Amino acid sequence: MMKDTLDYIETFTDGFKPEIGIVLGSGLGELADKYCEFAIPYEKIPGFSKSTIEGHKGQLVFATIGNRRVVMMQGRIHYYEGHSMQEITYPIKVMKKLGVEKVILTNAAGAVNKSYRPGDIMVITDHINMMGANPLVGVNDETLGVRFPDMSEIYNKNLIKIVDAAGRILKIDLKHGVYIASSGPSYETPAEIKMARYAGADAAGMSTVPEAIVANYCGMKVIGLSCITNYAAGISTKKLSHDEVIETANKVKTKFMDLVLLVLKNI
Ligand code: HPA
Question: Which of 105, 112, 240 best tests ligand 1's pocket when mutated (most atoms within 8 Å of CB)?
Answer: 240
Q: How high is the mean pLDDT in each 10-residue block of the chain (267 residues)?
A: 93 91 86 92 90 72 94 92 95 97 97 97 98 97 96 98 98 98 97 98 98 98 97 93 90 93 94
pLDDT at position 56, please? 56
pTM (predicted TM-score):
0.96
Cα-to-centroid distance, 88 and ligand 1 (Å):
18
The pLDDT of residue 25 is 86
Length of the chain counted residue by residue: 267
| Distance from the alpha carbon of residue 202 to the mean position of ligand 1, in angstroms | 12
Q: What is the reported pLDDT for 53?
A: 61
Question: DSSP per residue over 142-169, as a string?
Answer: TTT--SS---TTSB-HHHHHHHHHHHHH
Closest ligand 1 atom, residue 206 Cα: 3
What is residue 9's predicted lDDT score, i.e. its pLDDT? Answer: 94
Task: State how far Cα 216 lies from the chain centre.
Answer: 13
Q: What is the 3-state secondary structure (H, E, C) of 251-264?
A: HHHHHHHHHHHHHH
Strand partners, 65: 68
The reported pLDDT for the residue numbered 60 is: 94
User: What residues contact residue 255 under an 8 Å CB cut-off, 6+ apart?
Assistant: 121, 170, 172
Total of domains in the chain: 1
Domain extent, residue 77, equals: 2-266
CATH number of residue 59's parent domain: 3.40.50.1580
